[in-house]
Amino acid sequence: MPVLRRLWSGADPGSVRSWGEERGYHRFGPFDGDAGAGSGEFVAVAGGSVQCVLHRRHVWVHDLVVDEPRRSEGVGVALSSSSSADSPGSSDLA
């Protein structure tokens, strides 16, 4: 995800992927283009993990980045407000 590389510009993509898989790190965000055809890109990405705290599931957002040309369009606000609703079984967004 090129937009996520803005946060980890100096890291090897394979290392970032391995790190995420080991820790249950999930990424999601709005896509601009045809994902099925393999064209287009994510315009924003939130990355985080689901953890159980005091018998409840919580979504912990570790990263949120919006592609530079799409900033000030409300993409980040929409993504952060939909995060908890889109996470099955989660009750809180932290």
Please give the structure tokens belonging to residue 70: 């799409």
Which CATH number goes with the domain that contains 62?
A: 3.40.630.30
| Among candidate residues 4, 9, 16, 10, the one with its CA nearest the CA of residue 67 | 4
Domain that holds residue 18: 4-93
Q: What is the pLDDT of residues 3-53, one digit of tens each?
A: 877 777 788 888 888 888 888 888 888 878 766 666 678 888 888 888 888
90: left (phi over 0), alpha (psi -120 to 50) or beta: beta
Our count of domains for the chain comes to 1
Give pTM, 2 decimals.
0.66
